[in-house]
Amino acid sequence: MEEIKIFAPATVANLSCGFDVLGCCLDNVGDEMYIRKNNINQVRITRITGQDLPKETDKNVAGVAVQVLLKNLKSTLGFDIEIDKYIKPGSGIGSSAASSAGAVYAVNKLLGEPFTLKELIPFAMEGERLASGNAHADNVAPALMGGFSLVKSYQPLEVLSLPTPPQLRVVILHPLIELKTKDSRAILKENVYLKDAVNQWGNLGAFISSLYTEDYELLGRSLEDKIIEPVRSILIPFFDDLKKIALKNGALGFGISGSGPSVFAMCKGDATATHVKEAMQLFYKEKGIDFDMHQSKINTQGIKIL
């Protein structure tokens, strides 16, 4: 295989109760990437459409991730990377993760799969480090593996794949204000109250349980965050109103997607998701704020070959 075309999905990290450890993969929101071997022993970003992003290999998350992978293999092969970018950077739905994960996935395929999907995670994380200063795995893991991922630990890195309740749907509202992950991390405090942490791990435990038992109501009740949400939600226009509207219209739970400004509503079934989407849409239109919206099932496959 000399070239490959892939779909690199958007992802929702943190999911309220799982800051830095939990994420899930979306199905109909993502980038397209073309990756092919070249003869010049260099990794090049040859085309980016849709967004204004750096094309210098060392400044592009896909370029950096692929170079780390090749270095690990002591390979001097070169690749050309083209990205049709549909996920907006700084939206909070894993824009950089899609590019990093997509690029290492594609290169791994073209090399005959020297690495498993899980083994690709650390390479993709290097893209995240470039994007946000922090090599987190809660977007790249679900992008690569699909479904829900839990980062059990970072040192050593251990990621679990979790089951996906089949009727789960995600509604995303992206207020068109840019919020850099770097800035959104900077406002977090280094310390948290032990009692809030206890509350958080009780909820995360219940969330994990709900995935195995397909208990949608419990899943919704577990989407609670007394640590990060109170701080970050201030940066999101009308966050509290949106949350009330989503829950009133039948959402199981609601929170900040990744580091924001996108917010997500988890819903059971397409009808409820549509209903929640329309209610949030109507409210934001009335407020006169520009936004994008998505409605998706959970993508249990991850990156797809097109």
Q: Which residues bind a copy of itself (CB under 8 A)?
A: 17-22, 150-154, 158, 160, 162, 188-195, 197-209, 212, 218, 221-222, 224, 227
- Residue with smaller CB distance to a copy of itself, 106 or 137: 137
From the CB of residue 236, how many other CB atoms can be counted at a distance below 10 Å? 22
Q: Compute the least distance from the CB of residue 136 to a copy of itself, in Å.
A: 10
Indicate the SS3 state at residue 105.
helix
Question: Could you tell me the two tokens for 18?
Answer: 């799982």
For residue 246, how far is the Cα from the chain centroid? 21
Q: Compute the least distance from the CB of residue 224 to a copy of itself, in Å.
A: 8
- Residue with smaller CB distance to a copy of itself, 18 or 175: 18
Q: Compute the least distance from the CB of residue 229 to a copy of itself, in Å.
A: 14
User: Catalytic residue among 181, 224, 229, 272, which?
Assistant: 181
- Residue with smaller CB distance to a copy of itself, 126 or 224: 224
Indicate the SS3 state at residue 148.
strand
Q: Compute the least distance from the CB of residue 158 to a copy of itself, in Å.
A: 7
Q: Compute the least distance from the CB of residue 124 to a copy of itself, in Å.
A: 18
User: Catalytic residue among 82, 126, 128, 224, which?
Assistant: 128
Which residues are within 8 A (CB) of 247 and not within 5 positions of it... i.e. 6 or more apart?
253, 254
Q: Which of 166, 121, 125, 139 has its CA nearest to residue 22?
A: 139
Q: Which of 299, 157, 171, 140 has its CA nearest to residue 245?
A: 171
- Residue with smaller CB distance to a copy of itself, 65 or 151: 151
Q: How far apart are CA 9 and CA 166, in angstroms?
A: 18
- Residue with smaller CB distance to a copy of itself, 175 or 220: 220
Work out the burial of residue 119: count CB atoms within 10 Å of its CB; fewer than 13 is exposed, 13-18 middle, 19 or more buried: middle
Q: How far apart are CA 137 and CA 125, in angstroms?
A: 6
Q: Compute the least distance from the CB of residue 138 to a copy of itself, in Å.
A: 10
- Residue with smaller CB distance to a copy of itself, 35 or 227: 227
Q: How far apart are CA 74 and CA 40, in angstroms?
A: 16
User: Has 224 been annotated as catalytic?
Assistant: no
Which residues are within 8 A (CB) of 156 and not within 5 positions of it... i.e. 6 or more apart?
none
Question: How far are the Cα atoms of 6, 43, 64 from residue 60, in angstroms, in the given order?
Answer: 18, 11, 6
User: Has 181 been annotated as catalytic?
Assistant: yes
Provide the annotated active-site residues: 128, 181
